[in-house]
Amino acid sequence: MKQVIRAVGAGMLALGILGTASVALADDKVILGVAIPTADHGFTGGIVWWANKAKADLEKEHPDLKVIVKTAAGAPEQANQLQDLVTVNKINALVIFPFESASLTQPVAQVKKKGVYVTVVDRGLTDTSAQDAYVAGDNTAFGKIPAEYLAKALDGKGNIVALRGIPTTLDNERWAAFTGVLKNYPDIKILDGKYANWNRDDAFKVMQDYLTRFKHIDAVWAADDDMAVGVLKAIDQAKRTDIKIVFGGAGSKGMVKNVMDSAPMIKADVSYSPKFIYDAIKLTAEARLKGEKLPPTTIIPSVLITKENAQQYYFPDSPF
């Protein structure tokens, strides 16, 4: 499409109709809004870093592209930012990492109705008709891999407590996959599974509650490496020695280093890099510059990280 417009523009220049050609070329510019949560924990810190890197790299590479990055501390703020991106910034493409699923579905649907191309990243919407494309890590594997690992490590029997993230479609997918595997192990009991918001402090408080209520725990699934840090702190303060394994998630550099160093209770992790926001912005921008669309769904695989392969997933210079 771009080549056609440029060819038309060249012909108009030859005819001396410069003004009309300028309008056609201006209309070809992609203005891409990026709406993401603020850096309220390590993973979202990585999301913010990778989003801004995508802006810098892609604007340098593509003169016809403008990327506007907005960060929000909550769902209402993100919904307001979407309105501004459409009415003030005049975006024609959007990449959004929703703060929450249900509360952002309608605001995103309104953006799409304005003719904006929408790519949703990671935390899916409750109505997929509100999006054009979805890019995420493998949330099924993110829940399945830890469950399989813990079942094997515990020899098919024991007590597990779990810490979930924020109520989102991806958290539901992870939880369904995790519990689905453990249904095959009747001697493994999930004592409780509370939300801890992918936050160290919240995870510390949830784990303190678990340690008070449950006198024997064999393993913890803290479905995020930041939450695992809070869990470890609570266990240390309580001086509990019954817990054999704490399994986090996302492959943060700190947790991967723990796996490499054979840290107590940290035997493995599962990959889920925040770099997928960079990939989603790049894929969306380059497709729209060509007048093309992305596949409806793009899934980036998650893999088990152990001491044997941890070096491949250790990036000490990364923000996460």
What's the CATH number where 172 sits? 3.40.50.2300
pTM: 0.73
pLDDT for the residue numbered 173: 94
Shared domain for 295 and 146, answered yes or no, is: no
Tally of domains in the chain: 2
Would you state the pLDDT for residue 169? Answer: 85
Give the three-state DSSP class for 68. Answer: strand
Pairing type for strands 93-96 and 117-121 reads parallel
Asked if residue 162 and residue 121 are part of one domain, the reply reads no
Instruction: Give a yes or no: residue 71 inside a domain.
Output: yes
Amino acid identity for residue 171 in this structure:
D
Residue 109 belongs to domain spanning: 30-137+274-299
Pick the closest to residue 284 from 295, 273, 272, 299 (CA basis).
Answer: 295
For residues 157 and 256, membership in a common domain is answered with yes
At residue 19, the pLDDT reads 35
pLDDT confidence of residue 21: 30
The one-letter amino acid at 87: T
- For residue 209, the tally of other CB atoms under 10 A from its CB is 13
Q: What value does the mean pLDDT of the chain take? A: 90
Pairing type for strands 269-270 and 304-305 reads: antiparallel
* Residue 13 counted as domain residue: no
Is 117 domain-assigned? Answer: yes
Residues 152 and 259 reside in one and the same domain = yes
26-36 pLDDT, tens digit per residue, is: 357 999 999 99
Same domain, 169 and 106: no
Q: What is the pLDDT of residue 285?
A: 98
Give the pLDDT score at 127: 95
Query: Is 257 found in the same domain as 157?
Result: yes
pLDDT of residue 17: 33
**Could you tell me if 161 and 207 lie in one domain?**
yes
My answer on whether 115 and 170 are in the same domain is: no
> Do 177 and 147 contact (CB within 8 A), yes or no?
yes
Same domain, residue pair 155 and 115: no
Q: Does residue 259 share a domain with residue 166?
A: yes
pLDDT value of position 43: 87
Q: Would 100 be classed as within a structural domain?
A: yes
Low-confidence stretches of the chain (pLDDT beneath 50):
1-26
